[in-house]
């Protein structure tokens, strides 16, 4: 009887994320939507793997046709799951699909109608792309592939089922993801998992992706608490769709996630120890870092701006001069240069501006560990200090 129970638990753990340390926890992953882009930095990507068990994902064909980079990611990271969306639903809804996409020329209602009438071109496209991923999966037997017919779709239940059936014709038994936009077609047809996007997924969520919500702009621990019952939880950041200032054809976007940000995102969910006391000699006064002060690990600017995706501090606590970043033992990790006042709510300081030392958020964090053994850091100007903070995560909000 005991052996039967253990076998049941083992089999269940192959299907769902089993509790660890008495708490339910998803398998975390990275949603590399634009990994097929010819501008994607695949070499940097392969350097930075999340700790522990991992999942990966991509949006097929929108950024490029070839699967070389998808193959490289799976071969290198050996993820437990890899989820692929075959069709770009948002471009259909917004009528911005490229001519190379199967949704080109449709809006959400006309595409749903075409699928419901079993448009042969659409069905063949789904079968053909599914076949490519089935062939790819044959090389990676330890990775479970999950196929989503359409990203954030607006399909009726009947239409979604038609696409799901086409996938299963080519790949019998493959796990499916149902990724609706809002309340459309919420069902587990053929055992599909429900996929939700954003920062606050519903309770029925099996796969949660931050798609649309920048991981560097939110309270990561609060998000982790909200997705604790999901099976998979994907970290996403805007440059995972490659950078564009306003909308731009995905295949023309040349600035994709830089290496230092790939590293930060691979570690943004890492467990951190309790904050230490400051034992250096620079701080005569130490105050907690709290709202409405803000630390962003990755400021959003054009790629040729030295501040781009480097830390920014917004606070009224310091004067118009550089701010030191210190380890908990007092070691100097680097500096932030003063830039300007911000909306009369505080001054802005940047790692990537003159007077700053140019480190990324996670580089500060790594240096803190090397210097003191702790990832926590303190901000200092003259004898006044604030902290501790984790420099590789967003801290604080305006009210």
* Number of domains within the chain: 2
Mean pLDDT of 30-53: 97
pLDDT tier at 19, thresholds 50, 70, 90: very low
Q: Could you tell me the pTM of the whole model?
A: 0.90
* pLDDT score, position 183: 65
Tell me if 97 is assigned to some domain.
Answer: yes
Domain contains 273 = no
Considering the domain architecture, whether residues 224 and 154 belong to the same structural domain is answered as yes
Where does a domain end: 267, 298, 329?
267
Judge if 223 and 297 occupy the same domain: no
30 close to 56: Cβ distance less than 8 angstroms = yes
Residues 6 or more apart from 269 whose CB is under 8 A from it?
A: 28, 50, 220, 224, 235
**276 belongs to a structural domain:** no
* Residues 30 and 127 occupy one common structural domain: yes
Q: Is 11 a domain residue?
A: no
Range of the domain at 212: 16-267
Q: Are residues 125 and 234 in the same domain?
A: yes
How many CB atoms lie under 10 A from the CB of residue 222? 10
Question: For position 25, what pLDDT does the model report?
Answer: 87
Do 359 and 263 meet the contact criterion of CB atoms below 8 Å apart?
no
* Same domain flag for 23 and 156: yes
Give the per-residue pLDDT at 121: 98
Co-location of 234 and 298 in the same domain: no
Residues 57, 104: one domain? Answer: yes
Length of the chain: 399
Q: What is the mean pLDDT of the chain?
A: 92
Per-residue confidence band for 343, with pLDDT thresholds at 50, 70 and 90: confident
Among residues 237, 267, 297, the one where a domain terminates is 267
Which of the listed residues 267, 300, 333 is the one where a domain comes to its end?
Answer: 267
- Same domain? For 132 and 263 the reply is yes
Q: Identify whether 297 is part of a domain.
A: yes
Indicate if 232 and 315 belong to the same structural domain.
Answer: no
Same domain, 72 and 218: yes
Residue-level pLDDT at 47 = 97
In a domain, 93, yes or no: yes
Phi, psi of 312 (to 5 degrees): -135, 135
Domain with residue 34: its CATH number is: 3.20.20
How far, CA to CA in Å, does 173 sit from each of 16, 164, 176, 366? 17, 11, 9, 43
Whether residue 278 is contained in a domain is answered as: no
What is the reported pLDDT for 16? 36
Q: Is the pLDDT of residue 342 over 80?
A: yes
Q: What is the pLDDT of residues 277-296, one digit of tens each?
A: 999 999 999 999 999 999 99
Could you give the dihedral angle defined by the CA atoms of residues 305, 306, 310 and 315, in that order, rounded to the nearest 10 degrees? -90
Give CA separation, 378 vs 44, 288, 298, 371, 375, in Å: 29, 10, 18, 13, 10
Reduced 3-state DSSP string for 94-147: CCCCCCCCCCCCCCHHHHHHHHHCCCHHHHHHHHHHHHHHHHHHCCCCCCEEEE
- Respond yes or no on whether the N-terminal peptide bond of residue 388 is cis (omega within 30° of 0): yes
Q: Are residues 344 and 383 in the same domain?
A: yes
Mean pLDDT of 134-154: 98
CA 380 from centroid of its chain's CA atoms: 31
Instruction: Confirm whether 9 is domain-assigned.
Output: no
**CA atoms in the 13 A half-sphere facing the CB of 348:** 16
**DSSP three-state, residue 161:** helix
Residue 146, Cα to own-chain centre: how many angstroms? 17
Q: Are 227 and 307 members of one domain?
A: no
pLDDT digits (tens, 9 = 90+) for 282-341: 999 999 999 999 999 999 877 788 998 999 999 999 999 999 999 999 999 999 999 999
The separation between CA 267 and the C-alpha centre of its own chain, rounded to angstroms, equals 11
């Amino acid at each position: 009887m005991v052996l039967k129970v253990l076998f049941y638990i083992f089999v269940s753990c192959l299907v769902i994320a089993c509790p660890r340390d008495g708490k339910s926890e998803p398998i975390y992953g990275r949603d590399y939507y634009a990994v097929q882009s010819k501008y994607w930095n695949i070499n940097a990507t392969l350097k930075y793997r999340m700790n522990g068990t991992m999942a990966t994902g991509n949006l097929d064909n929108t950024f490029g046709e070839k699967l070389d980079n998808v193959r490289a990611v799976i071969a290198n990271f050996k993820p437990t799951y890899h989820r692929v969306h075959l069709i770009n639903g948002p471009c259909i809804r917004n009528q911005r699909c490229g001519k190379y996409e199967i949704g080109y020329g449709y809006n959400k209602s006309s595409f749903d109608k075409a699928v419901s009438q079993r448009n042969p071109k659409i069905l063949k496209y789904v079968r053909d792309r599914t076949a490519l991923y089935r062939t790819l999966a044959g090389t990676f037997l330890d990775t479970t592939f999950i196929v989503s017919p359409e990203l954030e779709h607006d399909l009726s239940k009947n239409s979604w089922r038609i696409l799901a059936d086409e996938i299963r014709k080519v790949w019998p038994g493959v796990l499916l993801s149902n990724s609706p936009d809002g309340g459309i077609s919420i069902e587990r047809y053929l055992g599909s998992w429900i996929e939700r996007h954003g920062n606050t997924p519903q309770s029925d969520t099996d796969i949660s992706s931050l798609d649309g919500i920048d991981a560097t702009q939110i309270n990561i621990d609060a998000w982790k608490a909200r997705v604790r019952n999901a099976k998979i939880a994907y970290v996403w950041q805007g440059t995972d769709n490659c950078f564009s200032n306003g909308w731009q054809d995905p295949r023309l976007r040349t600035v994709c996630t830089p290496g230092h940000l790939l590293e930060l995102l691979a570690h943004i969910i890492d467990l951190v120890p309790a904050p230490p006391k400051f034992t250096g000699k620079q701080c005569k006064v130490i105050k907690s870092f709290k709202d409405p002060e803000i630390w962003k690990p990755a400021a959003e600017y054009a790629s040729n701006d030295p501040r781009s995706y480097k830390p920014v501090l917004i606070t009224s606590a310091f004067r118009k001069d550089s701010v030191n970043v210190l380890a908990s033992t007092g070691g100097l990790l680097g500096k932030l240069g003063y830039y300007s006042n911000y909306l009369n709510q505080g001054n802005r300081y940047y790692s990537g501006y003159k007077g700053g030392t140019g480190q990324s958020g996670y580089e500060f964090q790594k240096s803190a560990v090397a210097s003191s053994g702790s990832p926590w850091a303190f901000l200092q100007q003259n004898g006044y200090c604030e902290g501790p903070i984790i420099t590789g995560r967003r801290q604080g909000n305006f009210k």
